[in-house]
Amino acid sequence: MIHTDENQHDQQPDLMIEAIGLGKFYGDFAAAQNISFAVPRGQVCAFLGPNGAGKSTTMKMLTGYLAPCEGEARIAGFDGDSDRLKAADRLGYLPENGPLYPEMTPLSFLSYVGETRCLGSAFLNERLDYVARMCSLKEVWHKPIGKLSRGFRQRIGMAQALLHDPDVLILDEPTSGLDPNQVRGVRELIEELAETKTILLSTHILREVHACCSRVLLINEGRLVFDGPTSELGDSDDVLEGKFHELTLVTA
Ligand SMILES: Nc1ncnc2c1ncn2[C@@H]1O[C@H](COP(=O)(O)OP(=O)(O)OP(=O)(O)O)[C@@H](O)[C@H]1O
């Protein structure tokens, strides 16, 4: 796809998340290399791989939190390096262990996030109300974050990712460490968001893949080893688990 200033501003791009030959190296070690894929508008895509495969590294490069050693990342057609602020406006990112301020309440933290994003007060109030409802935060809205369970903290992370109403969501293990009821709640939230957003979602829970994602990207030892429709990896969690195992056997 050719991106010009004109088509970036006059029409919505078709490709909302683009990884173009992304690579990150620590000395001789490749945490991620030659990662290329493009997620079209409206698609919900699972990003799978064993521990240490390179999922978070790739997501950090896509979101502008980590500079790639090679390649480019684009969000909604905007280059993550030269057009970083425009890309950030269109993107909501839930990092694996996002920073939260324990002495703040969800309300004060999210208001602060909204101010740093320069959201106008009427829009911010509307969005605070929306995320409090969508992320089921009302009962803890005025409690210090440091006193909240992991489940609530994870939902505050989701709320900050959704606050500015971005088109694109990059969610790094949104259900990690949650109990089964909380997992279900987050899954339902993602299903609802999937109606209007483009989503890249990393997870170790294969059930989430069948529930939410039409496409799977699978990474192993820093390289993309599968990119295709979820249906190509079987129609049950057992079959998916077998394929996952097959595709991620350690090569060393
Ligand atoms: N700053 C760093 N210095 C050196 N190695 C690093 C650094 N950050 C990540 N790595 C290594 O890069 C590899 C990929 O890490 P990454 O966190 O991207 O994996 P992951 O797929 O997200 O794993 P998990 O599922 O456990 O979260 C790992 O071997 C990790 O130890």
Q: Could you tell me the distance, in angstroms and rounded to a whole number, from the CA of residue 12 to the centre of ligand 1?
A: 34
pLDDT band with cut points at 50, 70 and 90 for residue 100: confident
Q: Could you tell me the distance, in angstroms and rounded to a whole number, from the CA of residue 201 to the centre of ligand 1?
A: 17
173 and 54 within one domain:
yes
Kindly report, residue by residue over 51-80, the tens digit of the pLDDT.
999 999 999 999 999 999 999 999 999 998
pLDDT of residue 12: 65
Point out which residues pair with 227 in neighbouring strands. 217
Under a CB-based contact definition with an 8 Å cutoff, are residues 248 and 49 in contact? Answer: yes
Work out the angle between the directed axes of helices 106-116 and 121-134 (0-180°, nearest 10): 140
Ligand 1 atom closest to 58 (CA): 18
145, 165, 185 - which closes a domain = 165
40 and 123 within one domain:
no
Under a CB-based contact definition with an 8 Å cutoff, are residues 95 and 156 in contact? Answer: no
pLDDT band with cut points at 50, 70 and 90 for residue 200: very high
CA of residue 118 relative to chain centroid, distance:
22
pLDDT band with cut points at 50, 70 and 90 for residue 250: low
Residue 2 has pLDDT above 50, yes or no: no
| Domain containing residue 241: CATH number | 3.40.50.300
22 and 128 within one domain:
no
Ligand 1 atom closest to 29 (CA): 5
110 and 208 within one domain:
no
211 and 132 within one domain:
no
pTM for this one? 0.91
Q: Which residue has the tokens 């990207």?
A: 217
Q: Could you tell me the distance, in angstroms and rounded to a whole number, from the CA of residue 202 to the centre of ligand 1?
A: 14
Amino acid at 163: L
| Per-residue exposure over 114-148, b if at least 16 CB sit within 10 Å of its own CB, e if not | beeeebeeeebeebbeebbeebbbeebeeeebeeb
150 and 124 within one domain:
yes
pLDDT of residue 4: 42
Other beta carbons within 10 Å of 206: 20
Q: What is the DSSP string of 75-138?
A: ETTEETTTTHHHHHHTEEEE-TT----TTS-HHHHHHHHHHHTT--HHHHHHHHHHHHHHTT-G
pLDDT of residue 11: 60
196 and 79 within one domain:
yes
165, 184, 210 - which closes a domain = 165
- Averaged over 36-51, what is the pLDDT? 95
* Contacts of 171 by beta carbon, 8 Å cutoff, 6+ apart: 93, 94, 158, 161, 190, 199, 200, 201, 202
50 and 124 within one domain:
no
- Averaged over 130-138, what is the pLDDT? 93
Counted domains in the chain: 2
Write out residues with Cβ below 6 Å of ligand 1.
Answer: 26, 31, 49, 51-57, 96
- Averaged over 1-11, what is the pLDDT? 44
211 and 149 within one domain:
no
Percent of residues, the chain, with pLDDT higher than 90: 65
By C-alpha distance, which of 37, 88, 33 is closest to 65?
A: 88
pLDDT of residue 8: 46
**9 SS3 class:** helix
Residue 249 has pLDDT above 80, yes or no: no
- 54: enclosing H helix or E strand: none
Domain range for 112: 99-165
148, 165, 182 - which closes a domain = 165
Kindly report, residue by residue over 18-28, the tens digit of the pLDDT.
999 999 999 99
> What are 125's two structure tokens?
């109030």
Kindly report, residue by residue over 203-243, the tens digit of the pLDDT.
988 888 888 899 999 999 999 999 999 988 877 777 778 87
pLDDT of residue 6: 44
pLDDT of residue 81: 87
121 and 210 within one domain:
no
